[in-house]
Amino acid sequence: MNATRIRAALLAGVRALGLSVASVAVSCVLFSLTLLSLVLVGIGVGVFTTPVVLGWVRAWADHRRRLAASWSDVRIDVPYRALPADIRSGVTGQVERTSLMLKDPATWRDLQWLFVDLSAGAVTALVPGLTLWYWLYGLVIAAGLWRVFAHSGGEWFLFVRVHSQFTGLLALALGLGILALGLRYNTTLLRAHFRLAKCFLAPTKEASLALRVAKLTETRHDALDTSAAELRRIERDLHDGAQARLVAMGMNLGTIEALIEKDPAKAKKLIGVARASSAEALTELRDLVRGIHPPVLAERGLGDAVRALALRLPIETEVTVDLPGRSEAPVESAAYFAVSEVLTNAVKHSGADRIWVDLHHTGTGRDGMIRVSVTDNGCGGARIGAGSGLSGVERRLGTFDGVLAVSSPAGGPTMVTMEIPCASC
């Protein structure tokens, strides 16, 4: 057993011990407060207290979901129904808020989880912690504590009754065996605790389908809005750029036609101006086409397109690519422009002098996924929010069921991770 695995087992044991205490204390208090608040609904007081208490319950459940993901890589989706805008803003009364929250099946599953968490959940969390410390009791007994209990028939250490030095050594051996099992299986035991929580905190199949439909509806609207905005951008760029230059060039050609015999020198000068206008119009058209779908992306794939993108940045950028093949053109396009937007944000706002891009494919078959990580050594502070460029990236990826995660503490570094499902890569 290597040192890394031992450290992971020790960390899992400490975390599990803290979870067992929190499961009993916090879940018990919240379960009791929820029951009391529901009883008070009958006399009207609960209408005001229930949304607050259920909000605490959901926050506690969300905290457990985050711990499950970060500590044991157990993903638990959030199942709650979205409240209407007027409910969220507090425009309507408490009765409607309470009614909607109580009609949400996830609320009652949360209450079931609270009860399980303060009982079976606490036990499953306590076991990994005990495997690390219980052997110390066996050591103390073997060191001589057994004599204190010898006159009363001995002391039990699990299934070993300690009443002599020999049985004390047996208890110590049993404790060391438990410690060895803990070092080997603690991470698995902690994951079992979170999987138990997932049975109650994850959406049911019906809720998952409803959330899926809502998500698809939202991403469809986002895709339509994005397409309309992109079309307006193309029309604006054509009107203000290449079209204006072509109109000016046509006017110059008309003037040249009138001056070609009367003033050849001036006509020759205007021909040079027209040639320059045509070159500028061609450049703008190429830039416009590159903004719609870069030729290098179509010809050489996502990896080379990202490398070419990095070469144009004013900041030193290191790109690592591990893609076994090509994926669908829409997926490659979405990934390319998402990376482009993230890199643009890093150049403009991070203050970094170095950027790292890691692009690789994970999974197989229908579970395949393109994962991109963009890291910079800048000042940090990046957030996903209204008006942020990262919000646009999140909407773009959402069209393909992709996700965006940002880690950007104050002072840096900033890591933006993007995942896009990709079955054919």
Q: What is the pLDDT of residues 250-301, one digit of tens each?
A: 777 777 777 777 777 777 777 777 777 777 767 766 665 555 566 777 778 8
pTM of the shown model:
0.55
- The residue ranking higher by pLDDT, 248 or 104, is 104
The pLDDT value recorded for residue 91 is: 45
The pLDDT value recorded for residue 29 is: 92
The pLDDT value recorded for residue 114 is: 92
Residue range 370-389: mean pLDDT, rounded: 78
| pLDDT one-digit tens code per residue, 62-109 | 999 988 888 888 888 888 877 766 555 554 567 778 888 888 888 899
The pLDDT value recorded for residue 31 is: 92
The pLDDT value recorded for residue 365 is: 60
Q: Cα 148 to the chain's mean position, in Å?
A: 55
- Read off the pLDDT band of 57 (50, 70, 90): very high
Q: Cα 400 to the chain's mean position, in Å?
A: 15
The rounded mean pLDDT for the chain is: 77
The pLDDT value recorded for residue 192 is: 87
Residue range 340-361: mean pLDDT, rounded: 85
CB atoms within 10 A of CB 315: 17
Residue range 221-250: mean pLDDT, rounded: 65
Residue whose entry in the numeric block shows the structure tokens 């029309």: 235
Do residues 325 and 364 lie in contact, with contact meaning Cβ atoms separated by under 8 Å?
A: no
Closest alpha carbon to 424 in 318, 286, 323: 323
